[in-house]
Structure 1
Amino acid sequence: MTTASDPRAGVGFGLAAYLMWGCFPLFFALFEGVPAFEILIHRVLWSCLFLAGVVTVLRRWRPVREALRRPRRLGRVLACAVLIAANWGLYIYAVESRQVLQASLGYFMTPLVNVALGMLVLRERMTRWQGLAVGLAGAAIALQLALVGALPWISLVLALSFGTYGLLRKQVPLDGLSGLLVETLLLLPLAGLALAGLTRAGMSHFLATPSTTALLVASGVITALPLLAFAGAARRLRLATLGFLMYLNPSLQFLIALLVFDEPLTRVQLATFALIWTGLALYSWSAWQGRPRPGVEGPA
């Protein structure tokens, strides 16, 4: 029987979560002809319904009701909702426009953005190695700007939006499942109005074909499943262990971009990735050095 402290089960849940997230480009590439904005609308609608069903089955409505009864405290949750929606929408756009390499780079950069935000916003102390890792990320962006003449804006916005989301999410006293449900509930009215507008204008693809309808509905389930697996991993693993598994997601996206979507990898892009990977290696080494000792669980 699996317990909440079983690390093998935790690794299994973690692998499942990050493998699903890493394979997202293959799923969203199936939406041929459906704009990213419309996919985002249905992702909000159907994930909200699916999460409500999961919360009902698990009988965990109490924290959701308590959060909704205090609208004055929902400011950070609303900010989280806007940030995660922007992140989702831009990610879908990156897949549809075959810029998965940029998306991959953005998620590789996220841990380093988290370190920088922790220092700038929370006044956390940055170790020497973490500082060097963040500096390498800055050098990677500067390299692209100098040699290509353009910023990798998709990578930057994905990393900054998800990093800021994580920063605000830590300040919200809700677990992952309840928090995501409240976030999608706050977005639900806007998503409903947007869908009604598309339908009235004759621009909705929802009932265009059975396959498109099924994919749009499935987008909600696909959104929630890795979150549930991640929650199972977070309860069983130390934070440092979970952090190492996290690199599976952008690594898979990187491989899918090259091997499935045949995206070109220029020398400048390769140099940018090399700088980011070096920074992540330093960051990971620093995190491993500061890991909790055996028998002491990290925060979940």
Structure 2
Amino acid sequence: MTTLSATGSSERERALGTGYGFSAYLLWGVLPLYFVFLAPTGPWEVVAWRVLLSLVFCAILLTVARGWGRMIAVLRNPRLALWTAIAGVLIYVNWQTFLIATLTGHVVESSLGYFINPITTVVLAVLVLHERLRPAQWAAVGIAAAAVVVIVVGYGSVPWIALILSTSFGLYGLVKNRIGGAVDAVSGLALETMWLAPVAVVQLVVFAATAGLTYGTVSTLHTVMLSLAGVATAVPLLLFAAGARRISLTAVGLLQFIAPILQFLVGVVVLHEPMPLERWIGFGIVWVALVVLSVDMIRHARRPRPALEPEPVA
């Protein structure tokens, strides 16, 4: 009975984790539509409000969950505090680039950035962590590099938005990996947005003095939607954190393709962004690389792991 109970509990946890993860990537996938709705608010103003309102939302969550002690403990650790500041800079670059892409008609290119993000993560593992890649992983990296070349040559421009999004989010993931479980999701986002708050305030002041702020000037619905930017930012992150704790890394890796697929469909089907033949070819090559990487990931996860030898007792 105990074994059956434990097995059932484990299955429920995996199902719950899959649901959380799916919901997170689903929300990230349709997020471009949310930000497009915020027009005429520009990307710089949206990001500034996104930072400040995310900080407010996290403060509410920390108060409700009595988590201020955990956050203060992180601040008292100089190494962890520095890592959260670096994570804040990286996520700022990612958010700003994503908003510029979304609000200037480049949702398809931003989806390319998140399609190649798994490849970028593999490259960073080699360059920074000095990990050794399996042959299939090297093949996926080579195929993805060829795709970028095809897009550059055929489309006539470097996909800077995709490359910046992929690199910034890949580095952000690397930093979060370094932090590990020492910082919970809410405290992490609270600290990252706290470091960015002065930058956001300066952006709003400059924008108010030049172009003028749109907050509260368009319509009641627009004001409400812009006010929810913090919630829209934090909720998928918290769902992801809750899901990642319950499912395998392989499952997380496969679920992450939901977001760029949905972003691609939003850009092509809903927003009618152009997709010339050379771009289709480039995307097709990227998808081949992702299939190679995914198959290798699944095969490696299914291999039986050798039993760990007992450590010698000192």
Q: Which has the larger radius of gyration?
A: 2
Offset of 1:70 from its aligned partner?
Answer: 3.5
Matched residue, 1:38: 45
Matched residue, 1:212: 222
Offset of 1:200 from its aligned partner?
Answer: 4.6
Q: CA 1:2 to 1:44, structure 2 compared with 1: closer, same or farther past 3 Å?
A: farther
Matched residue, 1:221: 231
Answer yes or no: is the 8 Å Cα contact 1:5–1:236 preserved in 2: no
Matched residue, 1:267: 277
CA distance in 2, matches of 1:181, 1:203: 28
Match of 1:55 among 51, 59, 62: 62
Answer yes or no: is the 8 Å Cα contact 1:205–1:212 preserved in 2: no
Match of 2:243 among 225, 233, 236: 233
SS at match of 2:41: coil
Matched residue, 1:25: 32
Answer yes or no: is the 8 Å Cα contact 2:21–2:240 preserved in 1: yes
Q: Please list every run of 5 or more consecutive structure 1 residues that lacks an aligned counterpart in the other structure.
A: 296-300
Offset of 1:2 from its aligned partner?
Answer: 7.9
Match of 2:85 among 59, 69, 78: 78
Letter in 2 for 1:187: L
CA distance in 2, matches of 1:72, 1:236: 28
Offset of 1:96 from its aligned partner?
Answer: 0.8
Alpha-carbon RMSD: 2.1
Offset of 1:7 from its aligned partner?
Answer: 1.3
Offset of 1:293 from its aligned partner?
Answer: 6.7
Q: In percent, how many aligned pairs have the same letter?
A: 36
TM-score of the pair, normalised by structure 2: 0.88
Q: Please list every run of 5 or more consecutive structure 2 residues that lacks an aligned counterpart in the other structure.
A: 1-7, 306-314
Q: Does 1:246 align with 2:253?
A: no
Matched residue, 2:299: 289
Offset of 1:174 from its aligned partner?
Answer: 1.6
Match of 1:126 among 133, 139, 143: 133
Q: CA 1:9 to 1:186, structure 2 compared with 1: closer, same or farther past 3 Å?
A: same
Letter in 2 for 1:117: L
Match of 1:160 among 147, 157, 167: 167
CA distance in 1, matches of 2:304, 2:62: 34
Cα displacement string for residues 223-248 of structure 1 (whole angstroms, at most 9, x for unaligned residues): 01111111121121111111111100
Q: CA 1:158 to 1:206, structure 2 compared with 1: closer, same or farther past 3 Å?
A: same
Matched residue, 1:298: none
Offset of 1:4 from its aligned partner?
Answer: 9.8
Matched residue, 1:101: 108
Q: CA 1:216 to 1:189, structure 2 compared with 1: closer, same or farther past 3 Å?
A: same
